Amino acid sequence: MARGARLHPLARAPLIDRINGWLDSAWRKGVLPRPPLDPEALWRCAYRGLRSGSETGGRLEEDAADFRLRLEVLTQALVTEARLNPLGEAIAHGQLVRVLRQRLRLGRLWERNPHLARTPLTPPILVIGQMRAGTTRIHRLLAADPAHSATRFCDSWNPVPEMPDLRAMRSACMLLGARRIDPWIDSIHPFGAGRADEELGWLASALNHCAYEAQWHVPSFTRFSEQRDPAPVYREFARILATDAARHGNARRPRVMKVPQFAEDLPSLLAQFPNARAVVTHRAARDVARSAVSLVANQMTIQSDAVEMGWIEQEWQRKIALREERAEAGLANFRGPLARVDFHAFELDWEMAMASIYRRLDLDLSDRAISAMHREQRRAGTSPHKRHAEDMRAFQSA
């Protein structure tokens, strides 16, 4: 779909309203059933078509209980707080059924092949920072180094290994559909089915709040999750990482990983990866907030007709402050190799910034790595992501 001007953070494609009309009409006439959002109905849908599945395979009982409780709180918030439009209801149902089905399939896999979840791993490189603070650029430059490994977008959102592996093809089709309903999505984040990307899908698969609070108004679920021990989430994350590394045969290369949520959950993350190296990005809170609000507004307006910009701005100022506070508290006890990067210094001279990161992390910056990083920078230079700054200037002048 052609990308028109995005003149307001809550702008959305006309196709959204047409889809809402089609769905509402189909539900009222009984042509299609309204997708349920209660937990038991979602579980029934997830089991449908599966020959076998396991909630507990490879997991502690407390991890299975944590997941069920998270599902109950999230679905209650969706029904009572989110004010979803018909498309939002359909998307929420589809996302949650996919998450439950993946969980059942992973449990079955780990019951049959318990060694996969215990694959020995080289300590990873963690990129820690706020969303919109340069974490994606640094992550992809580190991931470009042939000495490192990274998670593909398609594997993040489809963590169950397949043979033949059609996940990249399915994710490419999914992105084509996403671009139809959101023509600005690539200016928000540079996507690619087979590209190195954040492990957001793995956190979402354990029902951490980070993927859901950015697309739905679910404040009770956000507060519940913020106040809850995230250890079960990161145990699941570690099992998925070990399985992914075994599938791709790259367990001996350090995995470069990043999700902005890491900043909020550092103690639990580091408990799983105590020997990790860490890169911490810094950007002025005001600039982070403006860009984060733009991203969240873009996602929420697709699935709700009652989005309040004032609430988004207030909530994400709070989130940014919380993540900053928790990240620094978590790093106070971190004794591993650590590099800090200023966003504007990186913008001025990315090569110098990367050289500094490698020195501080005691990594070898090879000629092959430098060449690969230059290729990644050339690719980034033509990315639609660069248009996001233009969009935000348009918001200010509108």
AA identity, residue 249? G
- Per DSSP, the three-state class of 307 is coil
DSSP per position, 223-276: HHHHTS--HHHHHHHHHHHHHHHHHHT-TTSPEEEE-GGGGGSHHHHHHH-TT-
Residue 17: both structure tokens together: 């309203």
- Residue 83 burial (C-beta neighbours within 10 Å; 0-12, 13-18, 19+): middle
Q: State the residue for tokens 């910009």.
A: 309
Contacts of 302 (CB under 8 A, 6+ apart): 12, 16, 87, 88, 91, 181, 182, 215
Closest by CA position to 175, among listed 192, 155, 152, 157 = 192
Q: Which of 30, 177, 192 is nearest to 91 (CA)?
A: 177
Confirm if 257 and 158 have CB atoms less than 8 A apart.
Answer: no
From residue 398, alpha-carbon distances to 8, 9, 13, 164, 295 in Å are 8, 11, 18, 50, 18
Q: Are 277 and 254 in contact, with CB atoms under 8 Å apart?
A: yes
Two structure tokens written together for 88? 């939002």
37 closest CA partner among 236, 227, 240, 212: 212
Q: CB of 42 within 8 A of CB of 96?
A: yes
CA 276 to chain centre: 20
Domain 14-397 matching CATH 3.40.50.2000: the answer reads: no
For residues 295 and 131, the answer to whether their CB atoms sit within 8 Å is yes
- Rounded CA separation 106/194 (Å): 21
Q: pLDDT truncated to tens, each residue of the chain (398 aa)?
A: 445 678 899 999 999 999 999 999 999 999 999 999 999 999 999 999 887 789 999 999 999 999 999 999 999 999 999 999 999 999 999 999 999 999 999 999 999 999 999 999 999 999 999 998 999 999 999 999 999 999 999 999 999 999 999 999 999 999 999 999 999 999 888 889 999 999 999 999 999 999 999 999 999 999 999 999 999 999 999 999 999 999 999 999 999 999 999 999 999 999 999 999 999 999 999 999 999 999 999 999 999 999 999 999 999 999 999 999 999 999 999 999 999 999 999 999 999 999 999 999 999 999 999 999 999 999 988 766 555 555 655 555 44
Domain ranges in the chain?
14-397
| Predicted pLDDT at 1 | 44
Alpha-carbon gap, residue 54 to 91, rounded angstroms: 24
CB 1 within 8 A of CB 179: yes
Picking from 280, 255, 109, 98, the residue whose alpha carbon sits closest to that of residue 171 is: 98
Provide the token pair at 35. Answer: 């997708």
The pLDDT of residue 387: 58
Chain length of the chain: 398
Closest listed residue to residue 14, CA positions, set 172, 311, 313, 22: 22
> What six digits make up the tokens of 127?
């990129």
Reading the block at residue 172, the tokens are 């490419």
